[in-house]
């Protein structure tokens, strides 16, 4: 794995304006594994100008031809599946098996889906005596997070390209190596120069420069709600649309009569995946009073099976969190949960035995959590599960909706219709019913402080289009 000492702009790797570097650290070993340029506002400006120059040609490219380039991109990524998995494991700390199945295979599938969508999408429609055109919004500034680094890149770049937009990407500074690999795949796929541009850099400098740039027509950001609010304010001041995929504190509601053993097992797995660094994780498990104690015991037993280990080991199920700062954040929440009276039934703030080196966190389960506790309200972003008790389904609805977030959730019931009826009452963007599988063609996004807009499928493509009506 080798980092480029340059930025990808206008179809080639070009030196950054400044000499600043970002060190990429393996969170399992604390060793520096690469260095990439710390791009500046000047680098962002050059990339935006390249994207702006390439826009007319790419917009005029037939959708079928754009689809062919996206198919080639998907093939280029698929050819490097093992390298993608190893890269993400090294810079994020995700177990290798999880990196293959999720960090590599999911974005490969999403890239392929947009090749199909680009070829089939109705970019024109007739409404009465009007011809309605769905046109690319222009130059897109994409700012992506570190927790699902390649998936979030593809979920923004692929639909933008399918729509006929050009893109400037600023990836998270923790995980820039897979972003460089993506740029190599773009190059291999033969996209015209300037259609995709990559600027690695820090958020306060490169990220803000991109979000506020006058040459950017839409900003798509995934990350924390606090940063999303800042980006929304910058874009709003310029009357510029934004797509924001932000935080979550999702509820996993187990209704009376549901298969408790399966619901708890799947719920714990959901929270422990990616070391809990998932915005849509079901971090609040709601269980009826009659079965609450049983659920607590099952959750503690399930969490014990997630033994922290070396991400490069095929048997490892739980790797470290991404950075020392993230570990301090997560363990701080664990300490706060104890201080506020929650009962620790698994894990804790101490480093896992045998992992004093590396940014590991023990898989942690809290019981006797009340809705007002900090650990029940704020996004922890680590392998921490909270269990809350409810007396009846009305209280379950109130607890589930008692959060500023609304990104995801789950409902388990004896029958599908009972679960669907409950899910309709939840203020959240997507709900898994009795363990329903993730669908990369379905819209993904949140209510309330969890964001604005949707990603994936045709709904994700629509974010990058604007409409024009021709009255005939």
The pLDDT tens digits along the chain (472 residues) read 668 999 999 999 999 998 999 999 999 999 999 999 999 999 999 999 999 999 999 999 999 999 999 999 999 999 999 999 999 999 999 999 999 999 999 999 999 999 999 999 999 999 999 999 999 999 999 999 999 999 999 999 999 999 999 999 999 999 999 999 999 999 999 999 999 999 999 999 999 999 999 999 999 999 999 999 999 998 888 889 999 999 999 999 999 999 999 999 999 999 999 999 999 999 999 999 999 999 999 999 999 999 999 999 999 999 999 999 999 999 999 999 999 999 999 999 999 998 989 999 999 999 999 999 999 999 999 999 999 999 999 999 999 999 999 999 999 999 999 999 999 999 999 999 999 999 999 999 999 999 999 999 999 999 999 999 999 9
Q: For the chain, what is the domain count?
A: 2
Tell whether 132 and 41 lie within a shared domain. yes
Known active-site residue 205: no
Tell whether 342 and 436 lie within a shared domain. yes
Query: 60: which residues sit within 8 A by CB, 6+ positions away?
Result: none
- List the catalytic residue out of 173, 205, 208, 245: 245
Known active-site residue 279: yes
Tell whether 234 and 255 lie within a shared domain. no
The reported pTM is 0.97
Is residue 311, in this structure, part of any structural domain at all?
Answer: yes
| d(C-alpha 211, C-alpha 219), whole Å | 6
Comparing CA positions, the residue from 28, 147, 179 lying closest to residue 93 is: 28
- List the catalytic residue out of 279, 418, 455, 463: 279
Q: Do residues 318 and 275 lie in contact, with contact meaning Cβ atoms separated by under 8 Å? A: yes
Tell whether 239 and 158 lie within a shared domain. yes
**Token pair recorded at residue 225:** 């709600």
Tell whether 208 and 273 lie within a shared domain. no
Tell whether 154 and 241 lie within a shared domain. yes
Q: Between 81-92 and 63-78, two packed helices, what is the crossing angle to 10 degrees?
A: 70
Tell whether 319 and 212 lie within a shared domain. no
**Token pair recorded at residue 3:** 């980092």
Is residue 2, in this structure, part of any structural domain at all?
Answer: no
- Dihedrals phi, psi of 18, to nearest 5 degrees: -95, -175
Is residue 1, in this structure, part of any structural domain at all?
Answer: no
Is residue 394, in this structure, part of any structural domain at all?
Answer: yes
Domain containing residue 233: CATH number:
3.40.605.10
Tell whether 52 and 170 lie within a shared domain. yes
**Token pair recorded at residue 57:** 């040609």
Tell whether 167 and 149 lie within a shared domain. yes
Q: Do residues 387 and 366 lie in contact, with contact meaning Cβ atoms separated by under 8 Å? A: yes
Is residue 419, in this structure, part of any structural domain at all?
Answer: yes
Is residue 306, in this structure, part of any structural domain at all?
Answer: yes
Is residue 146, in this structure, part of any structural domain at all?
Answer: yes
Task: List 386's β-bridge partners, or say none.
Answer: 284, 366
Please report, to the nearest 10 degrees, the dihedral formed by the alpha carbons of residues 47, 48, 54, 58 taken in order. 110
Domain containing residue 353: CATH number:
3.40.309.10
Is residue 240, in this structure, part of any structural domain at all?
Answer: yes
Tell whether 289 and 214 lie within a shared domain. no
**Structural domain range at position 92:** 7-246+449-471
Tell whether 118 and 152 lie within a shared domain. yes
Tell whether 200 and 277 lie within a shared domain. no
């Amino acid at each position: 794995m080798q980092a480029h000492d340059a930025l990808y702009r206008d179809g080639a790797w070009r030196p950054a304006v400044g000499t600043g570097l970002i060190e990429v650290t393996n969170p399992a070993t604390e060793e520096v594994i690469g260095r990439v340029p710390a791009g500046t506002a000047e680098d962002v400006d050059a990339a935006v100008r390249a994207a702006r120059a390439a826009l007319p040609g790419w917009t005029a490219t037939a959708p079928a031809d754009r689809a062919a380039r996206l198919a080639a991109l998907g093939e280029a990524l698929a050819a490097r599946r093992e390298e993608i998995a190893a890269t993400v494991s090294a810079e994020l700390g995700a177990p290798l098996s999880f990196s293959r199945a999720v960090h590599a295979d999911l974005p490969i599938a999403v890239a392929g889906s947009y090749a199909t969508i680009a070829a089939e999408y109705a970019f024109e429609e007739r409404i009465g005596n009007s011809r309605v055109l769905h046109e690319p919004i222009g130059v897109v500034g994409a700012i992506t997070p570190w927790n699902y680094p390649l998936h979030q890149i593809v979920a923004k770049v692929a639909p933008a390209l399918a729509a006929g937009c050009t893109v400037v990407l600023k990836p998270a500074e923790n995980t820039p190596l897979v972003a460089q690999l993506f740029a190599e795949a773009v190059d291999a796929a033969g996209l015209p120069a300037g259609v995709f541009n990559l600027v690695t850099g820090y958020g306060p400098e490169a990220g803000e420069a991109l979000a506020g740039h006058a040459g950017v027509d839409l900003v798509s950001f995934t990350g924390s709600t606090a940063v999303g609010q800042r980006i929304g304010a910058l874009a709003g001041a310029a009357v510029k649309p934004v797509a924001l995929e932000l935080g979550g504190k999702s509820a996993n509601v187990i209704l009376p009569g549901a298969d408790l053993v399966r619901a708890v097992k799947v719920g714990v797995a959901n929270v422990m995946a990616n070391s809990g660094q998932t915005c849509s994780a079901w971090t609040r498990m709601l269980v009826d009073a009659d079965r609450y104690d049983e659920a607590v015991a099952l959750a503690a037993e399930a969490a014990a099976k997630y033994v922290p280990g070396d991400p490069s080991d095929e048997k490892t199920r739980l790797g470290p969190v991404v950075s020392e700062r993230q570990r301090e954040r997560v363990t701080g929440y664990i300490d706060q949960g104890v201080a506020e009276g929650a009962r620790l039934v698994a894990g804790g703030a101490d480093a896992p035995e045998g992992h004093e080196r590396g940014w590991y966190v023990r898989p942690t389960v809290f019981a006797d959590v009340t809705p007002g506790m900090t650990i029940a309200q704020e996004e922890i972003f680590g392998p921490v599960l909270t269990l809350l008790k409810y007396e009846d389904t009305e209280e379950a609805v109130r607890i589930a909706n008692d959060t500023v977030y609304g990104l995801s959730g789950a409902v388990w019931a004896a029958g599908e219709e009972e679960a669907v009826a409950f899910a309709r009452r939840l203020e959240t963007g997507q709900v898994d019913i009795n363990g329903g599988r993730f669908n990369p063609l379905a819209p993904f996004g949140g209510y309330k402080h969890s964001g604005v807009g949707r990603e994936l499928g045709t709904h994700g493509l629509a974010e990058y289009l604007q409409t024009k009506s021709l009255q005939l």
